[in-house]
């Protein structure tokens, strides 16, 4: 394309954008006005939410495990490690992963675990995650209508733990299962809930991609397998 024609096209676009009316501000969706109302509604619907989440999560090729306490979480984790002959984990050091010491459970079984405790040099945890068999994370929320896990970014919550290893295991408290995006926007970044986190990761099943012929391939850009441990 001649340079003069290119500049003419770009100038036309600039002029059109400059003269177009600015769109009206769009408020975040959310039928309920406060996080307290959202959580009260979720608690009221708890049984239905858990059933729907488990159904939708399974539809997208996720695996659901139930745990009642820290001991049973460890048993689930060791069973998953055995299934994939895993000898190396990377893990969050925040939320549920911090409260029950997964490192001790795994190390007693002879499994190496690297946790993001802030002592690693820049890029070192990413390299560990790229060579790990399983990545372990907590889960901040789960959307029951789509079976989606929601992970908020922050200190001790590296995204690489859930994105790089071939298997991702997420620990999810049952009281963190909510209806959908409307609830999430009311709970995260809404009035009185502080600022938005640096990142929000949505995970709906294992990684999927498709070529131009729509041939679906799992695990090309992320984990091949996704497990969630539902905890009381």
Domain of 60: which CATH number?
3.40.50.10420
Q: How far apart are CA 74 and CA 91, in angstroms?
A: 14
Residue 174 counted as domain residue: yes
Sequence-distant (6+) residues with CB within 8 A of 209 are 216, 217, 220, 221
Phi-psi label, residue 189: left if phi above 0, alpha if psi -120 to 50, beta otherwise: left
Residues of the chain with confidence (pLDDT) below 50: 20, 22-31
pLDDT at 102: 78
Antiparallel, parallel or unpaired: β 148-152 and 200-203 = antiparallel
Within-domain flag for 108: yes
pLDDT given for residue 210 in this prediction = 62
The tens digit of pLDDT for each residue in 204-231 reads 998 767 666 666 666 566 699 999 999 9
Decide if 26 is inside a domain: no
Q: What integer pLDDT is reported at residue 30 of this predicted model?
A: 45
Position 9 scores a pLDDT of 77
Q: Report yes or no on 19 lying in a domain.
A: no
Residue 149 lies inside a defined structural domain of this protein: yes
- How many residues can be counted in the chain? 232
Residue 116: phi, psi to the nearest 5? Answer: -85, 90
The backbone torsions φ and ψ at residue 115, rounded to the nearest 5 degrees and listed phi first, read: -110, 150
Burial state string for 70-82 with b = 16 or more CB within 10 A and e = fewer than 16: eeebbebbbebbe
d(CA 40, CA 174): 14
Residue 12 belongs to a domain: no
In a domain, 8, yes or no: no
Name the domain count of the chain: 1
Q: Is 189 within the bounds of a domain?
A: yes
Query: What is the reported pLDDT for 93?
Result: 79
Tell me what pLDDT residue 26 has: 40
DSSP, res 232: -
- 3-state secondary structure (DSSP) of residue 112: strand
**Cα distance between the two ends of the chain:** 63
Residue span of the structural domain in which 144 resides: 32-231
Please name the residues in contact with 129: beta carbons below 8 A apart, sequence gap of 6 or more: 90, 135, 158, 160, 161, 163, 164, 165
């Amino acid at each position: 394309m001649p340079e003069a024609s290119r500049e003419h096209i770009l100038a036309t676009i600039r002029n059109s954008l400059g003269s177009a009316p600015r769109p009206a501000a769009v408020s975040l969706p959310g039928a309920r006005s406060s996080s307290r109302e959202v959580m009260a509604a979720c608690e009221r619907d708890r049984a239905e939410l858990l059933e729907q989440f488990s159904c939708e999560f399974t539809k997208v090729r996720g695996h659901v495990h139930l745990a009642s306490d820290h001991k049973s979480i460890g048993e689930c984790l060791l069973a998953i490690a055995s299934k994939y002959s895993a000898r190396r984990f990377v893990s969050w050091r925040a939320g549920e992963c911090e409260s029950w010491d997964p490192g001790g459970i795994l190390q007693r079984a002879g499994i190496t675990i690297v946790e993001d405790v802030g002592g690693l040099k820049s890029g070192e945890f990413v390299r560990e995650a790229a060579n790990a068999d399983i990545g372990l994370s907590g889960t901040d929320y789960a959307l029951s209508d789509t079976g989606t896990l929601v992970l908020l970014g922050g200190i001790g919550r590296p995204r690489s733990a859930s994105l790089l290893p071939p298997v991702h295991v997420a620990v999810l408290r049952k009281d963190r299962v909510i209806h959908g995006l409307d609830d999430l926007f009311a709970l995260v970044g809404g009035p009185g809930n502080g600022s938005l986190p640096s990142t929000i990761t949505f995970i709906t099943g294992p990684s999927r991609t498709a070529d131009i012929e729509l041939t679906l391939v799992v695990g090309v850009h992320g984990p091949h397998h996704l497990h969630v441990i539902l905890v009381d």
